[in-house]
Amino acid sequence: MAPELIVIHGISLPPGQFGGPHIDHLFTNALDPAGHDYFRDIAGLRVSSHLLIRRTGEVVQYVPLHRRAWHAGRSGYRGRQQCNDFSVGIELEGTDDQPYTGAQYRRLATVIRLLRRGVPSLATAPIVGHSDVAPGRKTDPGPAFDWPRLRALLVPRVGRRPARKP
This prediction has a pTM of 0.92
- Residue ranges of domains in the chain: 5-12+48-154
> One of 4, 58, 91, 93 is an active-site residue; which one?
91
- What percentage of the chain exceeds 70 in pLDDT? 95
Q: Write down the CATH number for the domain with range 5-12+48-154.
A: 3.40.80.10
Whole-angstrom CA distances from 128 to 48, 132, 144, 145, 150 are 18, 6, 15, 11, 11
Q: What is the pLDDT of residues 47-93, one digit of tens each?
A: 999 999 999 999 999 999 999 999 999 999 999 999 999 999 999 99
Q: Is 91 a catalytic residue?
A: yes
Per-residue confidence (pLDDT) for residue 165, from 0 to 100: 47
Does residue 163 have a pLDDT over 80?
no
Whole-angstrom CA distances from 82 to 21, 137, 161 are 29, 14, 47
Reported as half-sphere exposure (CB side, CA atoms, 13 A), residue 66 has a value of 3
Q: Distance (Å, rounded) from C-alpha 153 to C-alpha 158?
A: 12
